[in-house]
Amino acid sequence: MASIILRKFYQQSIRCIQNVTSVPIKTVSSLYSTDVEPKQNKLTSPVNSWNEWDPLEEIIVGTPEYATVPHLLPEVKTCAASAKHDFYIQNGGKYWADVIPKEHWQLLCKQVEDFVKMLELEGIKVVRPDPVDHRKSYKLLDFETQGFYAAMPRDFLLIVGDEIIEATMTWRSRYFEYLAYRPLALNYWRQGAKWTIGPKPTNFSKLIRDEPINVGLSDEHNPDYGKVTTESEPCFDAADFIRAGRDIFAQRSQAIISYVSDP
C-alpha cells in the first residue's frame, strides 16, 4: 500500500505510536521538532511530541483487561487470517481471557506490566487508561455489536506537537473505545493540551464493503484493491500515520487525507 507524504501545518497534530501497546505523550524535542513553534494555550501543554525517535518523557500504555473477541464482521474478516475465522465465529463476544489458554493470557498480562516497569525504571512517566468492560453490547445508528479492548492506544490516539487527536476508528467493535481514554484526554486538555475528536462514522453499511475488492486490476492500478473501506466518509486509525517532524506519512483513505490536510 503506497504511502504519501502530507505536508502538515505546524499546529495540526496527530499522535503516534512507538509500541504496539503504547503511545508517546511527551518527548524531548530535537531534530525536526526544534524549529517548530507550537502555539501554546494559556497553560503550558503537557503534550509535546513531533516524531517517532525523540527520547520519551511520558507515555500511555494500554491494558488488556476485559478485552473481548470481536465478532467476524467484514472489517475483522479482512484483518484476520482465514484459518482463524472459525475462532471468531465461535467466540465473538466472549472475553479473550476465557477463550485462550490460561498461561497465554497470564503471559500477555505479565509482558505488559513488565514493559511498564521497564519504562518507569528509565524515568519515564507511564499513564494507564481505566479498565472498561468491552463485552457490553451497544446499538447505534445502523449496527449493533460489542467492544474489543483498550490494549493499543497507538491505534486510537494521535499526537503532533501539543495536540491530541482521537481517531475515528474503522471497526464497529472499536467505536466506543474512546471511553477508556476520555478521562486521560480530559486531564491533558485541562492542563493546556489541544484536543481534537475525529468525526465518527455515521453509516457503516456504506463505509464497509461486505468483501474487499480482490479481483481485477492489481493494487498498482486500482487503489481499492484489497480494501474493505470505501471513501463514503473520513475514517482512520492513529496507526495509519507515522510522524517525521513536519512531514507525516499516511496511508489510505483519501477522504481522511483530505480531512487532515485542510487548514
- In the prediction, which pLDDT does 13 show? 33
Contacts of 239 (CB under 8 A, 6+ apart): 17, 152, 154, 155
Partnered with residue 159 across adjacent β-strands are: 164
- Give the count of beta carbons closer than 10 Å to the beta carbon of residue 248: 26
Backbone angles phi, psi at 65, to 5 degrees: -55, 135
- Positive or negative, the CA dihedral 169, 69, 182, 45 is negative
β-strands 241-244, 247-250: how paired? antiparallel
Domain extent listing, the chain: 4-261
For the domain spanning 4-261, the CATH number is: 3.75.10.10
- Specify whether the CB–CB gap between 68 and 147 falls below 8 A: yes
DSSP 8-state symbol, 109: H
Partnered with residue 138 across adjacent β-strands are: 145
- In the prediction, which pLDDT does 79 show? 85
Average pLDDT for runs of 10 along the chain of length 263: 28 36 68 44 80 94 97 89 94 97 97 97 96 92 90 94 93 94 95 93 86 54 65 87 89 67 61
d(CA 101, CA 122): 32
- In the prediction, which pLDDT does 210 show? 78
Q: Which of 82, 32, 72, 34 is nearest to 52 (CA)?
A: 32
Backbone angles phi, psi at 26, to 5 degrees: -145, 135
- In the prediction, which pLDDT does 263 show? 55
β-strands 163-166, 157-160: how paired? antiparallel
- In the prediction, which pLDDT does 142 show? 82
